């Protein structure tokens, strides 16, 4: 039997319309609806992630025979906008535990133990740098919180580390520090960087 062409076209249109209606039915697969937004927990996690600006600047930790590099700089007149102006190198030449007699003093260490720390400081940058260690050397270990380890013992014996270093200049000198016990670490905290706890850290031997 011959079926007119217009009848086939009408039937095809009817079937196609039914299919389209089925696709738009509310069965959860409606592609015309916008995709669901990302879970709120993911957005919250991004917001609560720690800020890199809050991360403290890492100071080099050096032991006897090692060399580390640290930056020195300045802030503006308001104590803000810190910028590094030059680079310094510190080499730990030796760290020797000594008695009062060995450093030619009759004063006993208030903390418990003298250590003679010999360092080489060198300006490896392009601008002058001032180093002042007195009152800026803090000792601590796992048991004891940071304490001032500075002393005036041995001052005047040999080159003085506390001076202004022009680019390329270096000094090798010693500090007699007063620490509670052997081991631990000594930090030089004479730095203007608000994001740094210390300029460099010396790991003392036990």
Take residue 43 and report the two structure tokens written for it: 């957005």
The predicted structure's pLDDT at residue 139: 98
> Other C-beta atoms within 10 Å of 172: how many?
14
pTM, two decimals, is 0.72
Instruction: Please give the order of strands across the beta sheet that includes 67-74.
Output: 67-74, 83-98, 113-123, 170-179
The predicted structure's pLDDT at residue 21: 46
Instruction: Find residue 58's DSSP bridge partners.
Output: none
Q: In which residue ranges of the chain is pLDDT below 50?
A: 1-3, 6-25, 41-55
* CATH class for the domain made up of 59-203: mainly beta
SS3 of 7, please?
helix
The predicted structure's pLDDT at residue 35: 54
Name residues whose C-beta falls within 8 Å of residue 55's C-beta, 6 or more positions apart in sequence.
195
* Domain coordinates in residue numbering, the chain: 59-203
**CA dist., res. 63 & res. 59, Å (int):** 13
């Amino acid at each position: 039997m011959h079926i007119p062409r217009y009848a086939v076209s009408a039937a095809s249109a009817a079937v196609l319309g039914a299919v389209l209606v089925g696709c738009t039915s509310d069965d959860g697969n409606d592609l015309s609806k916008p995709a669901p937004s990302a879970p709120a927990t993911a957005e919250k996690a991004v917001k609560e992630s720690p800020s890199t600006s809050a991360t403290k600047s890492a100071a080099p930790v050096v032991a006897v025979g090692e060399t580390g590099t640290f930056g020195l700089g300045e802030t503006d007149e308001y104590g803000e906008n810190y910028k590094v102006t030059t680079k310094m190198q510190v080499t730990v030449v030796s760290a020797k535990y000594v008695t009062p007699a060995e450093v030619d003093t009759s004063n006993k260490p208030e903390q418990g133990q003298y250590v003679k720390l010999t360092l080489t400081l060198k300006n490896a940058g392009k601008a002058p740098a001032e180093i002042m260690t007195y009152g800026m050397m803090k000792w601590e270990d796992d048991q004891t919180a940071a304490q001032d380890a500075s002393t005036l013992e041995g001052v005047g014996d040999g080159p003085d580390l506390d001076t202004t270093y022009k680019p390329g200049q270096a000094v090798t000198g010693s500090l007699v520090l007063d620490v509670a016990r052997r081991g631990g670490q000594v930090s030089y905290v004479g730095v203007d960087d608000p994001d740094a706890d210390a300029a460099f850290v010396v790991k003392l031997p036990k």
